[in-house]
Amino acid sequence: MAAVLVNIPERASAAAAAVAVEGDPSLDPELEELYNTDGITPAAPEERSGLVVLRVAEVAQFQEKILRAVVNGDFADSDVRISPMQFAFGTQILLRNSNIDGNIRLMIREEIPKSKRKLARTNAVTIMNTLQQIQQYAGRIKRDFVPIEMIELADMYLVVRTNLNELYNYLPDPEKKKYYGFFTAVTEYEKKIADGTYNPDIDGILNFD
């Protein structure tokens, strides 16, 4: 039996990724609402446990990369800007919209083999504690980042990503193959939505049944 999950909308994932924009969206409830729905974009399908694990790991990887890139000066000649509040707010949205805690619990209970469940629970605790630490750490900074803070935050995202990957690897091979297929399909679906090329008459409706 597959574990059924809460969807992670593309806009929520983008907010969690904290792609740098000037200003703090958490100060404006209307902007926060826009991260969740625009009233136009078709709703993505209901997601499942292994898929959510992969997608949250992808967000963590993006966050880590952008933090390290800023520290390394890779964006020195661009308009990319990041602020601590973007990461605190993005993590809050990610936790709310992915229901990662509940979905990991369901995955452990229903899909991970019994021989791996003790290890999986340890991973789960590390993931949730670290996500909370990210939100608290970034939320305490009331000024611009200094490099060491971005490095520490990137290291926290690395912990989240590696533990999520370990959870995924506990799954039996058929389940891993299935969820990776879902992940690829959702990535393509969201790319078409972002590019404005999605056509339900041609592309059909994405589902996991």
Tokens 């629970």 locate to 121
Class of domain 4-178: mainly alpha
In the chain, DSSP finds a helix count (H) and a strand count (E) of 9, 2
In this prediction the pTM is 0.72
Q: How many angstroms separate the Cα of 146 from the Cα of each of 9, 41, 50, 67, 70?
A: 31, 37, 35, 11, 11
Cβ–Cβ < 8 Å for 139, 88: yes
User: Would you write out the chain's pLDDT as a tens digit for each of its 209 residues?
Assistant: 344 333 333 333 433 333 333 334 444 443 344 334 444 334 444 457 888 999 999 999 999 999 999 999 888 777 778 999 999 999 999 999 999 999 999 999 999 999 999 999 999 999 999 999 999 999 999 999 999 999 999 999 999 999 999 999 999 999 988 887 777 877 776 676 666 765 665 555 545 45
180/54 Cα distance (integer angstroms): 8
Domains of the chain by residue range = 4-178
